[in-house]
Amino acid sequence: MMLFLPSLLSGLTTGTLSYWLVILILIVNFIFIMALIFMERADPRSTISWILVLILVPIIGFIVYLFIGQTVYRSHQFKLKKKDDDKLLATKNEIIGLLKTKEKDKSDEDIEIYQMSEAFMKAGGSFYTEENAVELFTEGEKKFKRMFDDLRKAEKFIHIEYYIIRNDKLSNEFMDILIEKVKAGVEVRLMIDAVGNNKGPKKKLVEFQKAGGEFTTFHKTITVLLSPKKNNRNHRKIAVIDGIVGYVGGFNIGDEYLGKGPLGYWRDSAVRVEGIGVYTMNLRFMMDWEYASHKELPLDKKYYPPILPEKTWTEKMQLISGGPDTIRNPIQTEYLKLINAAKKSIYIHTPYLIPDTTIRDALILAGYSGVDVRIIIPDKPDHPFVYWAGLAFAGQLIKDGSVRVYNYNRGFVHSKTMVVDGKYCSVGSANFDERSLKLNFETNAVVYSEKIGTEMIDAFMDDLKYCTEYTEEMYDKRSLWLRFKMGISRLAAGLL
pLDDT 10s digits, 172-196: 999 999 999 999 999 999 999 988 8
Q: Is the pLDDT of residue 83 over 70?
A: no
Same domain, 304 and 442: no
Same domain, 140 and 268: yes
Other CB atoms within 10 Å distance of the CB of residue 105: 5
Same domain, 227 and 297: yes
Please compute the mean of the pLDDT values over residues 281-290 and round it to a whole number: 92
Same domain, 334 and 305: no
Residue 26 neighbours by CB under 8 Å, 6+ apart: 1, 5, 8, 58
Number of domains into which the chain is organized:
3
Among residues 81, 143, 181, 235, the one annotated as catalytic is 235
pLDDT in tens, 193-235: 988 887 889 999 999 999 999 999 987 766 555 555 567 889 9
**Residue whose C-alpha is closest to residue 386's, from 287, 279, 280, 492:** 492
Please compute the mean of the pLDDT values over residues 281-294 and round it to a whole number: 91
Among residues 92, 337, 416, 485, the one annotated as catalytic is 416
Same domain, 255 and 371: no
Q: Which of 70, 88, 114 lies at the terminal end of a domain, its last residue?
A: 70
**429: in domain:** yes
Q: Is the pLDDT of residue 5 over 50?
A: no
Active site residue 288: no
**481: in domain:** yes
**325: in domain:** no
Residue 181 neighbours by CB under 8 Å, 6+ apart: 151, 152, 154, 158, 188
* The residue type at 357: T
**Which pLDDT belongs to residue 102?**
47
Among residues 81, 237, 337, 485, the one annotated as catalytic is 237
Active site residue 383: no
Same domain, 311 and 339: no
**116: in domain:** no
pLDDT in tens, 357-386: 899 999 999 999 999 999 999 999 888 888
**107: in domain:** no
Indicate if the alpha-carbon torsion angle 195, 220, 239, 448 is positive or negative. positive
Same domain, 66 and 80: no
Q: Which of 70, 88, 119 lies at the terminal end of a domain, its last residue?
A: 70
Active site residue 414: yes
**Residue whose C-alpha is closest to residue 488's, from 52, 41, 37, 33:** 52
**Which pLDDT belongs to residue 4?**
47
Model confidence band, residue 80 (pLDDT cutoffs 50, 70, 90): very low
Please compute the mean of the pLDDT values over residues 262-274 and round it to a whole number: 97
214 phi and psi angles, rounded to 5 deg = -100, 130
Active site residue 242: yes
For residue 407, give the H/E element and its range.
strand 404-408
pLDDT in tens, 133-178: 999 999 999 999 999 999 999 999 999 999 999 999 999 999 999 9
**322: in domain:** no
CATH code of the domain in which 188 resides: 3.30.870.10
**Which pLDDT belongs to residue 3?**
43
Among residues 421, 423, 433, 485, the one annotated as catalytic is 421
Segments forming the whole domain that contains residue 270: 74-99+130-316
How far is Cα 109 from Cα 227, in angstroms, rounded to an integer?
47
Active site residue 382: no
* The residue type at 321: S
Q: Which residue has the higher pLDDT, 489 or 218?
A: 218
**Which pLDDT belongs to residue 27?**
74
How far is Cα 55 from Cα 239, in angstroms, rounded to an integer?
46
Among residues 242, 268, 288, 463, the one annotated as catalytic is 242
**111: in domain:** no
How far is Cα 417 from Cα 120, in angstroms, rounded to an integer?
17
Same domain, 311 and 381: no
Among residues 159, 414, 423, 485, the one annotated as catalytic is 414
Report the predicted TM-score, pTM, of the whole model to 2 decimal places: 0.84
Q: Is the pLDDT of residue 76 over 50?
A: no
Active site residue 43: no
Same domain, 419 and 440: yes
Same domain, 305 and 347: no
What percentage of the chain carries pLDDT values higher than 70? 75
**262: in domain:** yes
Same domain, 352 and 295: no
pLDDT in tens, 39-50: 555 556 666 666
Residue 65 neighbours by CB under 8 Å, 6+ apart: 32, 50, 53, 54
pLDDT in tens, 423-435: 999 999 999 998 8
Q: Which of 70, 88, 107 lies at the terminal end of a domain, its last residue?
A: 70
Same domain, 396 and 488: yes
Mean of per-residue pLDDT scores for the chain = 84
